[in-house]
Amino acid sequence: MNHISATVITIGDELLIGQVVDTNSAWIGQALNSIGIWVKRRIAVGDKWDDIWNTLEEEQRVADIIIITGGLGPTADDITKPLLNKYFNGELIIDEAALQNVQQIFARYNRPMIQSNYKQAEVPNTCKVIQNARGTAPGMHFEQKGKIFFSLPGVPYEMQGMMEAYILPELKKRFVATPIRHRTVTTCGLGESFLAEKIKDFETSLPTSIKLAYLPGANIVRLRLTEQLEINRDSVIDEYFNQLQELIPEIIITNEDISIPEAIAQLLLRKNKTIATAESCTGGYIAHLLTAIPGASRYFYGSIVSYDNSVKENVLNVKEETIKTYGAVSEETVIEMAKNVLEIINVDYAIAVSGILGPDGGSPDKPVGTVWIAVANKTITKTQKLSFRYNREKNMEATANNAFNLLRLLIKEVG
């Protein structure tokens, strides 16, 4: 069956008021896409019976697969299970395997069980139970009118385990979907509208089987080509992806679907080089991005977070007269920061940043959003002045992205 479609429904008032960020539907979308299934819709619904019921009614009319997460806990506000029991004309029964799982978990932590814990093992007798190897709430598999429904816990770790162990294998067994291929390139240095103008002829030349998406971020733009293969037709996405890269070689950070820090980490590892950071306005954020990658100890040695000028002077050895003459946010200051941290930590490359990220602290000559970046090795130092218009969080992200890109350009220049 071709062009299988799915709807992902996430349940919980906390999602609608922004108290919890919905990462589940993004993860599920990627997982389904990897086996050739399109997510037609992603819907968040509050803890209201009628809203959930009506959403199920609507989505089974337009999707082949409906995946629900959330609302399976032991408290009164968790209404997904009783609702699904009624929706599929079932009767709640104790699933012995699920009960044994709950009992084992409580015994492992030497905790007593109360009645609501036993209810975790209740499931409608009209479902196939999906056992939860990572938690207490079992999942449920229903079928109705040729449509498949899965209900999973909202805890991401538990949901992902059940998707990987049961749902994805089940769907691959049930459906022969045409593969979906993506190729993504991440760019820095050209805004979305200018980039679109630069590649407009390429975009109009794309066949109907390939779609181009612009994914703007903090001073970066990712370009994604998507191809849904047709039976008995060869893939052509690589050919067009190569054409795209030839049009914008100077602004490409990576042509893999990975984060910018991952791309920099791969570059450093490939060159067998090390790095340290000297950070003022970013407060260690750049170091955090690098160390969040497994194996960071092979290329990242350390960071000096010199948020106050006294730390710049006493720890980073920035000259007092440099800061007095040019200010902490200046080319002269970040040059000294980069060169000095390079020597202090004894690495091959260094990144230094100083700026005013907001929302206040700016001046007429250095308004909020002003950032200076320096990158250096033992012989070359490159600098860049930037002016951002975002909020504090986005300004920090944009600073990191541009710092990584400037480092990439320096490494490319060195060879």
Q: How many residues does the chain have?
A: 415
Q: Which of 2-16, 223-237, 300-314 has the lowest mean pLDDT?
A: 223-237
CB 131 within 8 A of CB 138: yes
Sheet of 65-69: strands edge to edge? 38-45, 5-11, 65-69, 147-152, 139-144, 128-130
- Report pTM: 0.79
Provide the residue type at 408 as one letter.
R
Q: Long-range contacts made by residues 254-260, C-beta under 8 angstroms, separation at least 24?
A: 254/185, 254/186, 255/183, 255/184, 255/185, 255/186, 256/184, 257/182, 257/183, 257/184, 257/224, 259/289, 260/186, 260/188, 260/220, 260/400, 260/401, 260/404, 260/405
* pLDDT tens-digit map of 236-245: 999 999 999 9
**Token pair 């308004």 in the structure block, residue:** 367
pLDDT at 58: 97
Q: How far apart are CA 121 and CA 98, in angstroms?
A: 5
β-strands 252-254, 92-94 pairing: unpaired
Please give the C-alpha separations between residue 76 and each of 81, 154, 389, in angstroms, as whole numbers: 11, 16, 45
In the block, residue with structure tokens 């080319």:
331
* CA dist., res. 59 & res. 147, Å (int): 10
As a whole number of Å, the CA-based R_g of the chain is 26
Specify the range with the lowest mean pLDDT, choosing from 107-121, 125-139, 262-276, 317-331.
Answer: 107-121
Position 2 confidence tier, pLDDT thresholds 50, 70, 90: low
What domains, with CATH codes, occur in the chain? Answer: 5-174 (3.40.980.10), 180-254 (3.30.70.2860), 260-414 (3.90.950.20)
- Cα–Cα distance, 406 to 248 (Å, whole number): 17
DSSP codes joined into one string, 61-77: HH-SEEEEES--SSSTT
DSSP string of 175-242? --PPPEEEEEEEEESS-HHHHHHHTHHHHHH--TTEEEEEEE-SSEEEEEEEEE--TT----HHHHHH
Structure tokens at 32: 């389904």
What does the mean pLDDT of the chain come to? 95
Mean pLDDT, range 120-139, rounded to an integer = 95
Q: Collapsing DSSP states into helix, strand and coil, what is residue 2? A: coil
Strand partners, 128: 141
Query: What's the whole-number mean pLDDT along residues 121-128?
Result: 96
Q: Which residues contact residue 167 at a Cβ distance below 8 angstroms, ignoring those fewer than 6 apart?
A: 67, 130, 150, 152
Q: For residue range 170-206, list pLDDT tens digits in order.
A: 999 998 777 889 999 999 989 999 999 999 999 999 9
The string of pLDDT tens digits covering residues 395-411 is 999 999 999 999 999 99
Beta bridge partners of 42: 8
Strand partners, 279: 305, 353
